[in-house]
């Protein structure tokens, strides 16, 4: 489980950590890696960052940014295996200490006040004067919620796949695809001619030789398996998930996109 680490004279009670790299970053922050970095005021360096979310001794929320990506990746992998790992960040690797959390965190450090935003000018970070980071509002639909929805489909692929008829086609005979879907496919195809910013297309292991493909663009997200169908979510279709069958076109598009995709090391 996450543990306390010391930062100068201040203790940070670590609750969780995430990676911010071209191939793996919190989708709530943006459609691509540079956009996600911009939200946090960071330069989009290729090596990326680790984001450590915790509380100080007074209970205030802090997001500590470190350039020791391998350390954070090791901690996350250890926690995922159910083992303890005391994440201790070397002060020399700290890039920024940002007030607040950009993600929803369901736990809190024991024995200190409940999580709250730090007061302006708090001691832990030089960036305490900026507005605290906050997770997206779950009560409204927008780009962050659309991307979170795509994340959920990628994590729960089998459940979502079962809800779609196995014979779903790319375009039903005599019909045109949903207007929004048609636009998404055209824009995704445009990435082949003009590669998008890093992180707009990401590829992760699925099963066998298949990959889970994630592509985002202005107002849309697509999740697909390279050996199966795709799902599209749109900003202008709140809460709606649109399946895209394989048909004659999708397999070739997914294969081409996968070749452009960023992959975790």
**Confidence band (pLDDT; 50, 70, 90) for 259?**
very high
Consecutive H or E run containing 234: strand 230-234
- Structurally, how many domains does the chain consist of? 2
Domain end (from 106, 136, 166): 136
3-state helix, strand, coil in the chain (%, to 5): 25, 25, 50
Distance, in Å, from the CA atom of 253 to the CA atom of 195, rounded to the nearest integer, reads 14
Rounded to an integer, the average pLDDT of 55-78 is 94
Rounded to an integer, the average pLDDT of 48-65 is 95
- Shared-domain flag, residues 2 and 127: yes
- Shared-domain flag, residues 112 and 213: no
Distance, in Å, from the CA atom of 154 to the CA atom of 176, rounded to the nearest integer, reads 26
The whole domain housing 186 covers: 143-260
Rounded to an integer, the average pLDDT of 97-101 is 94
The structure tokens listed for 31 are 């459609």
Threshold 0.85, pTM exceeds: yes
**C-beta of residue 40 within 8 angstroms of C-beta of residue 214:** no
Tell me, letter by letter, the H, E, C secondary structure of 27-74.
Answer: HHHCCCHHHHHHHCCCCCCCCCEEEEEEECCCCEEEEEEECCHHHHHH
- Shared-domain flag, residues 51 and 79: yes
Question: What is the layout of strands, in order, in the sheet containing 61-66?
Answer: 4-7, 10-20, 49-55, 61-66, 94-99
Consecutive H or E run containing 80: helix 69-80
pLDDT tens-digit series, residues 143-190: 999 999 999 999 999 999 988 875 555 545 445 667 889 999 999 999
Does a structural domain hold residue 218?
yes
Asked if pLDDT for residue 9 goes beyond 50, the answer is no
- Of 123 and 178, the structure prediction assigns the larger pLDDT to 178
The pLDDT of residue 86 is 86
Asked if pLDDT for residue 72 goes beyond 70, the answer is yes
Domain end (from 136, 156, 183): 136
**C-beta of residue 46 within 8 angstroms of C-beta of residue 22:** yes
Domain end (from 136, 156, 181): 136
- Shared-domain flag, residues 208 and 251: yes
The pLDDT of residue 11 is 83
Does a structural domain hold residue 265?
no
Positive or negative torsion for Cα 105, 111, 116, 117: negative
- Shared-domain flag, residues 151 and 65: no
3-state secondary structure of 213: strand
CATH number of the domain at 209, please: 3.10.450
Phi, psi for 143 (deg, rounded to 5): -55, -45
The pLDDT of residue 7 is 44
Rounded to an integer, the average pLDDT of 86-98 is 92
The pLDDT of residue 127 is 52
pLDDT tens-digit series, residues 215-244: 999 999 999 999 999 999 999 999 999 999
Does a structural domain hold residue 105?
yes
Does a structural domain hold residue 73?
yes
**C-beta of residue 33 within 8 angstroms of C-beta of residue 53:** no
């Amino acid at each position: 489980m996450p543990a306390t680490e010391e930062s100068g004279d201040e203790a940070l009670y670590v609750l969780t950590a995430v990676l911010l790299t071209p191939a793996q970053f919190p989708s709530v922050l943006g459609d691509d890696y540079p956009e996600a970095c911009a939200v946090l005021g960071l330069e989009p360096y290729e090596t990326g960052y680790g984001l450590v979310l915790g509380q100080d001794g007074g209970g205030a929320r802090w997001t500590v940014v470190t350039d020791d990506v391998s350390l954070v990746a090791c901690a996350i992998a250890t926690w995922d295996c159910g083992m303890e790992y005391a994440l201790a960040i070397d002060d020399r690797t700290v890039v920024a200490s940002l007030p607040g959390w950009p993600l929803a965190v369901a736990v809190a450090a024991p024995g200190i006040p409940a999580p709250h935003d730090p007061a302006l000018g708090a001691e832990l970070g030089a960036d305490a004067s900026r507005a605290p980071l906050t997770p997206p509002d779950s009560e409204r639909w927008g780009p962050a919620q659309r991307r979170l929805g795509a994340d959920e489909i990628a994590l729960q692929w089998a459940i979502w796949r079962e809800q779609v008829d196995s014979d779903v086609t790319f375009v039903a005979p005599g019909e045109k695809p949903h207007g929004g879907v048609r636009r998404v496919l055209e824009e995704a195809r445009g990435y082949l001619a003009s590669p998008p910013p890093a992180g707009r297309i990401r590829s992760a292991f699925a099963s066998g030789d298949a990959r889970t493909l994630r592509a985002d663009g202005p107002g849309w997200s697509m999740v697909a398996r390279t050996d199966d169908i795709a799902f599209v979510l749109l900003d202008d279709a709140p809460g709606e998930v649109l399946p895209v069958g394989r048909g004659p076109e999708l397999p070739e598009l997914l294969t081409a996109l996968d070749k452009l995709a960023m992959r975790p090391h």
